[in-house]
Amino acid sequence: MARRGKKKGRPVSGWLVLDKPAGLGSTEAVSKIKWLFGADKAGHAGTLDPLASGMLPIALGEATKTVPYVMDGAKTYRFTVGWGEERNTDDLEGEATVRSDLRPTRDAIEALLPQFTGVIMQTPPQFSAIKIAGNRAYDLARDGEVVEIPAREVEIVRFEIVEMPDANHTTFEVECGKGTYVRSLARDMGRLLGCYGHITLLRREEVSPFTVEDLVTLAELETAGGETEEIGERFAARDEFLLDAAAALEDLPQLPLSDDAAQKIRLGNAVILRGRDAPLHADEACATSRGKLVAIGAVEAGLFKPKRVFVG
């Protein structure tokens, strides 16, 4: 008896900037979006903890090729630290490991923030996705192992107090680079202040180049298409929320091409760039046609050479 092939999804492509609700894991969110769009391929650009809410950019189809560009983008978080207790997960999910009756003043916290601004060394939490000898740190931590996770460089562009609603809590906003753990910020500040701390609320506000105007909720997607029972109409309604793959490449030079030039590039050929503003050289550039991403490549002596081609 012949084996039945695995059912393939739709070849839909684009970015869905999900406003992930708290309680939903990033992998679960991707699976949910993949199902809602009937997509054949999906992936996210940067894990967001289950207890956190906010921006989780999810790439579908051809847009998955642009995920690394979003992973490298700056991120903005708003989070609240609960003082007086450190937890093994550095957030509400874990168990308390040490407590203190001390509470920090606003002046003490503000005096500490410069130490956490700029390029700093940071040790990721024990419960993190960092790999240690081939194993995820959170798997080892769940088994009761305490592992040595090496500190690494991260960049904090901006770090400021938003409010102090009471003596036990302080809300911050931070703009940071790739690989920064907000839970580690809470842990390390608490230790230096002598009062200990952990995350009680966390929301990712932005992931560059996307903005809050791009956010879409699960409720909006689930109700798209109204009362129609036609799955094709529902897919069409949901597709309206997608951004083109080129939206992830705003920091690259944008090269609009004619239909003929785009076709040559899709076949893997280089093309001469026309126009007064066409660049002569660029290590990396984004070629588009009719607003759709065609290829990522390099410009050498006015010639665009495709490195990664996208299906139209």
| Closest-CA residue to 246 (of 304, 306, 291) | 291
* 270, 304 Cβ separation under 8 angstroms: yes
Catalytic hit among 19, 40, 49, 251: 49
* 61, 40 Cβ separation under 8 angstroms: yes
Strands (E) across the chain are located at 14-20, 42-44, 53-60, 75-83, 85-87, 96-99, 118-122, 131-132, 135-136, 152-166, 169-176, 197-207, 254-256, 271-272, 282-289, 292-300, 303-309
Q: Name the packing angle between helices 26-37 and 231-239 (round to 10°).
A: 120
- 209 preceded by a cis bond (ω within 30 of 0): yes
* Residue with token string 């390099």: 298
* 22, 41 Cβ separation under 8 angstroms: no
CA distance 41 to 64: 8
Instruction: Give yes or no: 166 in active site.
Output: no
Residues serving a catalytic function are 49
